[in-house]
Each structure stands twice: as structure tokens, then as C-alpha cells.
A and B are shown apart, each in its own frame.
Chain A
Amino acid sequence: MVSIDLAELSVREANAQLRTLGEAGEVVEILNPDARHHIGVGLTAPINVNVQGSAGYFCAGLTDQACFYVSHNVGWGVGDNMYSGSVVVGGNAGAIPGVAIRGAEIVIKGNMGSRAGQVMKAGTLCCAGNANFMAGYMMYGGRIIILGDSGERVGEDMSSGEIFVAGNVQDLGSDAMLTDVDSKEIQSVHEFLDRYGIKAPKGFSKIVNAGKKLRYGTPETPMRSIPFNTFSGDSAYWNPKVQEDITVKAQSGRYRIRGYGGARPLPHLSDIGFRKDLTQAGADRDVVSKVRMATEIGGINGARPLKLSMPVMIAPMSYGALSRSTKYAIAMGSAMSGIAENTGEGGMSDAQRDAAGQLIFQCLGGRLGWNIHDMRRADALEIYISQGAKPGLGGQLMAKKVTPELAEIRGIPSGIDLRSPSRHPDILGADDLVIKVEEFREATGYEVPVSVKLGAGRIRDDIKIASKDGFDFVELDGMQGSTGAGSAEVIDNVGIPTLPAIIEAIEALEEIDARDKIQLVLMGGLRDGVDAVKALCLGADAVAFGTSVIVAGGCISCMQCHIGQCVTGIATQDPEHEKRYQPEVEASNIHRFLESVRWQIAAITQALGYDDVTGLNRDDLVALTPEAADITGLPYEPSMAAASREPMGALS
């Protein structure tokens, strides 16, 4: 047995030792833990760790195969996201024990805190004492065994899985119900308790999903879709789109869902122009080789940065909303152009990983597809807080889109109506977020950048928090960003537009003298290289494209992304529809689009008088509308509109 004394070593040093010892199959004793956070985070070897005392937050988090014993208490999130292996806690556990576990066994001998097993996917969480409120909140699968009392609202919004309670069931959560227990299940529970030396009680109540939510009596009437540009143009008050909405709502009695971006006219990058007349930009056919565009993102705190051939990356879009083939094509296209792809919510597929040169792995509140092994093969990690198109809201993937393959990657039962929660179980404030970021860094040896995706809301406060919480970069998403599915009212009416978002973000960072402490990637309705250059002038370090990449790769903008029967094979999981999509062909289309972006960035940068994109600055811009002047503080020069509207004459 090897001893590691935390009175002498930091947790970071101890975890590095544990990883080495784990490969040697040692038994390790942790002395003087004194409730420190992150003990054992990121272990992926069959090692036995005995913690002599209490552990803090995320003990045994993001692990696979390891077996932990903690003699006293643990803080929040014990066993976070654990695959296989076990944790036995001799004392009490704080909030969210067993959060997002994917197969591990977690046993708490004392009492456990609120929201036990939140968004867990598989495995068993057992508490010999009493549970606090909302045990099993939003669980997707697996089993919770509570030998004491259940706490209030047990099984709140659980999708699947079972909760067995031996004590008093205080009250049931929303969409949870009591059901009969069969003897086989009891036998299995008894076997589990035997294995951990816990005396089995006489009987159990069993709680499962009642299946009453997320089921709509009347489906939306299928209509012939109206192309986006038909209704978003110079729309009259009662245009065909408004009439269609009313007709559909008259049948369904609820709000409409759609995909794609907002249609409401809002101040945007098209309302600002360049100070110089750029009508001759791009006359130099060799401009791409003459302007330095290579950009590093994420390395400012010592992590290995993303190396982009130009200050552009792909915006996060999920495998789930999009088909596997589409994510594969985007990965290939991004690699051909030397930029980074982003997994979005739905986890990482092997094909996508192999095809993408650089891949950002995104972590959302449901922890769908999130796991230590894919974290290790990602080039950057990203905590999603919200998105510009529907800030503060969660999502829902209809059962039809939850195919067996998709379910496996996400770690959930296939064919369930899948709710994506709007918030993280373990990030309820900036203070928790610090501890979460540190967990990710521990799990990946401090090697890869960690970013935060923020839908523009209270940007001034949020961006300062992001900087203080030690993120390497922020992906800031404005209201003009798209979504795979959202309420039509929200898409058009909720959020902060991209233009004020970047202005406020830069101002806020300057206020706390932190402009060089965090990098900023802007997205949200950016369409081409012209928009990209404007964003860079305003202070972004890079930009990200989502919708325009999808359109480059075959999207016809019909806005029916949420239905799951995309005719182009993009926003679907139906193999018959997906067959129409040719990833290799679309990857080339995406690549060509990205190269057109490169050309535009180079041509405008050169025309503005620079040979490096880092030279771009605010003084290169003017406002073309009074609103844009007010938002940006740029001089109002409407006379520059003509020159800015068609800046790429020589390129067309």
C-alpha cells in the first residue's frame, strides 16, 4: 500500500501520482484529506483509493474503473459522471451525489444531500440514511436505492430508471409515480446491499416516470413549409407566415416550435461598415498568402492552444439535432480548412473525432454524451451555459430522433422523449463554476483549454465572471444565432443581439483590466468573411459560423429542423432521409465556403492597410444607421453604406 499525504502535497500533485500508481494497479491511502476538492478526479485505471477522512467536491469525479472508499464525509457531486467502479462513503454526502453517473456504484452509509442522482444515466446510487429533496431529479436511467426516507419531490421529472425507497415516501415529484415492485427487482436490490454489507430492509416502494409530461394530444398540423426568406423579407403585417402560425395554433393550442435563426430585423453587423472604400478589395489575386491569419485560441493560461489557420471556427451544433453524416461532413470540411469543429451537446462520435483536425468537446447540463474518455481525446473542453437563440432555456429531442446509436453515445435509453435541462446540476453560481472548471483541468492534466459558451444575456456581469473563473476563452453567442428547435416566439423576441453583445463584452473586460486575460470568440448570425472582419475589428479574437456552414453543406432553410424528417438529410436521424446526404461532397462544399471566408478576410484586411488580422481595430469601422452608432459608439457615416455593402466587387 502506498500513502499520499495531503498535508504535504497539493491535490493536483496527488492526482498526478494517483494516475501513475493506477497504471501499476496499486492500493493507495490518502491521508489528511481535510475535505479538499477533486480528490481522485480523472482516474481511469482499476485502482483502490482509501481516503482517510473527509473529501470535498467531486471526489472520484470523471473516473472509470477505480474503487474509492472515503471513511468520513464527501462534499457536492461525489462520483460525478463515473463510468464503472465504485465509491463507498462512510459518512454523509453533500448535494448531488452520483450526478450524471454512467454505470458506477455509489454507496452512502449516512445521509445524502439534495438532488441525488441528478441526470444519472446508469449504475446504482444507494443511501443507507435519508435523502434530501428531489432525489432522482431528471434521471435518465439507472437505479437509486434509499433505505431511509425519500425526501420531498422524489423522482422529479425523471425520464427513466427506478427509485426504491424503504422508508417513508414523503411526496412524489412532478411526473413520478409509485408502481409495484417485482420479486426479481427486490432480489437484485438485496444482492447489491449484501455486496456492500448493508442489512436489507423488509420492503420497498418503487418510483418510476409516470409518462404524463412531454406527451401532446394533438400533433402540429403538417403544412407546406414557407422558405425562410419568403417570410423574413420585407414582411407585411399579416404575411403568409403569420397566417400559417395562427392556423397551426388553432389546431394545437400551443406555441410553435421551429429551427433556424431569428427573422426579426435587429441591429446587426450589416449596420456597420468600413471607414475606407473597399470596392477594389481583393484585386490582388494572391492576397491570401500576403495576410497573416493564423490564430491561436485558448493558450493564454498555459494550456495547449487551438491552432486555427484563420480566426474562424465552427459553432457548436449537436449530433442529435444534426445527423451523424452532417457532423462528419463538417468535421472533414473544418479539417480541410485548418480550423476547429465543436461537438455541441450530443457527445463525440469516432468518425467525427477522426475527421476533425481539432475538436472542442461541449458539456451541457444533461451531461449527454459527456465522459472522461472523450474529454481526453478532445482538443478543448467547453462548458455550455446558454445559447443566443434561446438564452436560459433547455431543449427537447423527440423520441423519434433518439435512435439506438444516438442513445448509446448520449448514454441514455433509446426512444425516450429526451429533455435537455436548462441548467447544470453543479453550477448554480459563479462560485460553483470555479470548482467545476478546476475539475475539468484536473481530469485532463491542465493540458487543454477550457472555454465557456455564453448566450448573450447579462453580458457585462457574465463576461467578468468568465474571466475571474479562469476560462481560457469565451464563445459569445448573440440573439441572431440559430437553434435546432425552439419556440418561435423565443427565437424572435428573447435575447441580446450580437452587435451590442460584443460591444458590452469588450467594455466589461476593459473595466476590470482583463482584456488580455481571456479570449473572445463571437458568433450569432455571422454570415461570411465580411461579418468576420467586422467582428474582429470590434475586438473578437475569432468568430464561429454555424448556420452558414450548414447552408454551405446543403441546408435549404425550410426551418423544419425539429420535425426530424429533413429532406436534405441534415436535421434528421432517419436513415432513409440521411441517405440523401453525401458527407464527402458536402465536406468539399463546406471547405469551399470556408475558403471564400478566408479570401474575404484577407482581402479586406489588406484593403484596410494591414498584413496581419491582429491589426484590425475599431477605427476601421463606421456606423451606417443611427441605432448602430448608438450601440457601438462608432461615428455615424451613412455615406459609407454603398462602399461597405459591396466591398468585394473584385471577388464576385
Chain B
Amino acid sequence: MCGIAGVMYRGSDKDFDTGEALIRMLDGCQHRGPDSTGFALYAPEASGRLKLRFFIDPESDADDSAAIAAIRQRLMDLGAGIEEEARAGDNYRVTILYDGDVQKLSYEMEHAAKVISIGTSLEIVKDVGSAHDVDDRYHVNQFHGTHGLGHVRLATESDVKPEASHPFWATGFADVAIVHNGQITNYWKMRRRLEQRGFEFTTDNDSELIAVYLADKLAQGIKLQDALSTSIDDLDGTFSFLVSTGDEIGYAKDRLAAKPMIMYEDDDLVAIASEEVSLNRLFPGKALNTREPAPGTYATWSRSI
């Protein structure tokens, strides 16, 4: 039960205020989800580099340095070279040089620590509280980049804690993130199918399932829009979700249209949100020519177009 938002700027520049844009959009629909807020932010790194973010639990990891030392050790064991590292709020952020298998790295790291995201351009920031609370803790407003997703959550079935917040990273796949409003009712059936093929899940959240489902298709060389198309048939329940990769953003909406979604597009950007009030936060005082995606539809936008 939530509000979602996504923005992608057009053109070759990589320095847009994506953090600030998403903060505003989420503040506009915070009433849909007061419990936690999260952001998936994209800014491309040089090739061969990966950005990793981890939760460092202030309670169970009383000795921060031990937890971080364990992460460092595991990275070195896997042959990754640490380029930069920093503490940010309750996160540990590290940039590595790594040319091995990302899925292997992801699963190894998952077994050692709470991974939030891994990507060459993706970084996920999420925590309990409002968009402004999370911004205060993690300085989201200073993020510049190309595109991003955001989410406000009202917890209905799982706990209010940072790791149950959205966006969800597609565990094991670099740069794939999702924000979702709704409920997937064939969750366990779909999850078992993916687990039988060797994929791992770190939560029981249905949004992680959508992320892994789509990332798996992408890894097989299927186009994002085709993966979205099959998702509408394969997933049961009510859903409106946004997905992003290193250079694409897309949406899918179920046939019942139980969860709202509205979009705005111009020469400079495409923005999608649960409610028009979020879109208007990007354009105060302007009446927008918005469009409601039809039930059972999907679409994608690519940065290169």
C-alpha cells in the first residue's frame, strides 16, 4: 500500500537533480505511505566499477568497524579492489573494481551482510520515515544523475524496518530496481519457480519477486518491454509498478487498474507517479497535460532516445 514515483531526464547530460525531484514527488504523495521512504538513484560510473550499499544495523552491529571489516574481507576474498568507501547514515557505501560474475558476488555478499543494492550506476537509499527524514539522514538532495525511482510505504503485511522498505533491488542483478504499489497474489508459486532455477530471495516481499522476475528475463537477453508484457500475464493480483535499469525506465499496470498511475512527458523528461499531485510538485502552478496509462498496459523509455 504505497505511493510510487519515477523520473527520467532526456538528453546526454548526466547531472540532473534526480534526488531533489524524487524528494518533491514523494513528499507530494507521502499521505499514501507514512512508514518508510526510499529512492533508487542512477548515475553512471566508469566501466568495471560497482557501487555497493549495505545496511549497518546500529543495534545488532554495535561494533560498526567489525561489521565493515567483515564486508571488506569478503570483498577482498572475491577479488574486488576497494576504490572508495564511506559511512552514510546507517549505510556503508563502497565502490569496487570488479570484473567477475555479479550474481556470484551478490549472493556471496548477501550471505555476509545486508546488501541494499549493487550496480554500476544504481544506488538505493531507503529507511523508515518521510522523504524529508530520509533526505536529512542520507542527503538524497545532493544526488545528481540520469533517472530514478521513489517509493513511500504504508506497511500492511510486513514490519516497518529499513530492509522491508522499497525500492527493491533485483537481488543478484546489477542496476535493476523496482517500486511497486499493490499485491501479488501468486507470489509463492512464482517464487518457487525462480528458486528452482537457482535464484535467491532476501525478503518475503512481493516487490523483490517482480524485480528478480524482470531481471532474469533481461539476463536472458529479453527486452525490458517484452519482459513487462509477459509480467502482466504471469503476475496475479493488483499492481502498478515502475522498473528501472541502467538506461531504461518502464511501467506495468494490471488489468483491474485498482492501483492508480499517471504520467507526464515533455521534451525534457518523463515522470510517472501514483497521483498527479506528485507530478505537479515538479511543475508548481502549471496545469499539466497528463495521461493515465490504460489497464493492462506497459511501456518503456530509454535514455538514449
- A residues neighboring B (CB under 8 Å): 7, 31-32, 34-37, 52-54, 56-57, 71-73, 75-76, 91-92, 94-95, 113-114, 132-133, 428-431, 434-435, 438, 461, 464-465, 468, 512
Is the interface on chain B under 10, 10 to 19, 20 to 34, or 35 or more residues?
35 or more
Q: Which of A56, A76, A94 has the most CB of B within 10 A?
A: A94
Number of A-B contacts (CB under 8 A): 101
Nearest CB of chain A from residue B286's CB, rounded to whole Å: 8
Contact assessment for B279 and A35 in the assembled complex, using a CB-CB cutoff below 8 Å: yes
Q: Which secondary structure characterizes the binding site on chain B?
A: loop
Complex CA–CA separation, A431 to B182 (angstroms): 10
The complex places the Cα of A57 from the Cα of B29 at a distance, in Å, of 12
Q: Contact: A94 with B157, CB < 8 Å?
A: no
1/0 per residue B126-164: CB within 8 Å of A?
000000000000000000000000000011110010000
A54 CA to B33 CA in the complex, in Å? Answer: 23
CA separation between A32 and B259, bound complex, in Å? 26
- In the complex, the chain B residue whose C-beta lies closest to that of A434 is B31
Which residues on A sit within 8 Å (CB–CB) of B2?
A: 431
> Looking at the complex, which one of B33, B157, B285, B287 makes contact with A431 (CB distance below 8 Å)?
B33
Establish whether residues B257 and A34, one from each chain, have CB atoms under 8 Å apart when the complex forms: no
- Measured in the bound complex, the distance between the Cα atoms of B290 and A75 in whole Å is 11
- Any A CB within 8 A of the CB of B32: yes
Which chain B residues border A430 with CB–CB below 8 Å? 1, 154, 156
Supply 22 A–B pairs (Cβ within 8 Å), ascending by A.
Answer: A34-B284, A36-B277, A37-B277, A56-B276, A71-B287, A72-B289, A73-B288, A76-B260, A91-B289, A92-B292, A95-B257, A114-B257, A133-B257, A428-B258, A429-B182, A430-B154, A431-B1, A431-B33, A435-B31, A435-B32, A465-B1, A468-B34
Residue positions of B touching A, CB distance < 8 A: 1-3, 31-35, 154-157, 160, 181-182, 238, 257-260, 262, 274-277, 279-281, 284-292, 294-295
A57 to B155, CA, bound (A): 22
Cβ-defined contact, B284 with A95, below 8 A? no
Q: Which residues of A contact B284 (CB under 8 A)?
A: 7, 32, 34
Contacts of B155 in A (CB 8 A): 464
- Cα A431 to Cα B290 in complex, Å, equals 21
Residue among B34, B35, B287, B291 with the most chain A CB within 10 A? B287
Find chain A residues with CB under 8 A from B238 CB: 428-429
Given contacts A75-B275, A76-B260, A431-B33, contact A94 B287 (CB under 8 A): no
Nearest CB in chain A: distance from B185 CB, A: 14
Q: In whole angstroms, how far apart are the Cα atoms of A36 and B28 in the complex? A: 9
Across-interface contacts of B154 in A (CB, < 8 A): 430-431, 434, 465, 468
Are B31 and A438 closer than 8 Å at their CB atoms? Answer: yes
B277 neighbours in A (Cβ, 8 Å): 34-37, 56, 75
Among A34, A57, A435, chain B packs the most CB atoms within 10 A around the CB of A34
Interface of A is mostly: loop
Please indicate the chain A residues that have their CB under 8 angstroms from the CB of B160 in the complex: 512
Write out the residue numbers on chain A whose beta carbons fall within 8 Å of the beta carbon of B289: 72, 91
Contact A94-B31, Cβ < 8 Å, known A113-B257, A114-B295: no
Query: Contact check: which of B1, B35, B157, B287 meets A54 at CB < 8 Å?
Result: B287
Tell me, in angstroms, the Cα distance from A37 to B157 when the chains sit together: 27
Q: Within the complex, what minimum Cβ distance (angstroms) separates A150 from chain B?
A: 14
**Closest chain A residue, CB of each to CB of B181:** A431
Q: How far is the CB of A255 from chain B (nearest CB, A)?
A: 26
A72 to B264 alpha-carbon distance, docked (Å): 14
- How far apart are the CA atoms of A113 and B295 in the complex, in Å? 10
* Contact A428 B259, beta carbon cutoff 8 Å: yes
Which residues does chain B contribute within 8 Å of A31, judged by CB atoms? Answer: 285
The reply to whether B285 and A32 contact each other, CB–CB distance below 8 Å, is yes
Establish whether residues A429 and B157, one from each chain, have CB atoms under 8 Å apart when the complex forms: no
Give every chain B residue within 8 A of A73 (Cβ-Cβ): 276, 287-288, 290
Taking CB atoms, residues of chain A closer than 8 Å to B276 are: 35, 54, 56, 73, 75
Name the residue on B nearest A111 (C-beta): B292
User: Is A94 a contact of B262 with CB atoms below 8 Å?
Assistant: yes
Q: Closest approach, in angstroms, between the C-beta of B28 and any C-beta of chain A?
A: 8
A113 & B33 in contact (Cβ 8 Å cutoff): no
Nearest 8 CB-CB pairings of A with B? A35-B276, A34-B280, A430-B1, A72-B287, A53-B287, A431-B32, A35-B277, A428-B258
Closest chain-A Cβ to B103's Cβ sits at a distance in Å of 34
B276 CB to closest chain A CB (Å) equals 4
CB distance from B267 to the nearest CB of A (A): 20
- Give complex CA distance A32, B288 in Å: 12
- Which chain A positions have C-beta within 8 A of B3? 431
**Contact A54 B290, beta carbon cutoff 8 Å:** yes
Assembly CA distance A7 to B289 (angstroms): 20
Give the nearest-CB partner of A57 in chain B: B275
Complex contact B295–A132 (CB within 8 A): yes
A71 neighbours in B (Cβ, 8 Å): 287
Closest chain A residue to B2, Cβ basis: A431
Query: Cβ of A37: which chain B residues have Cβ within 8 Å of it?
Result: 275, 277
Q: How many Å lie between the Cα of A132 and that of B253 in the bound state? A: 14
Given contacts A34-B284, A430-B154, contact A133 B295 (CB under 8 A): yes
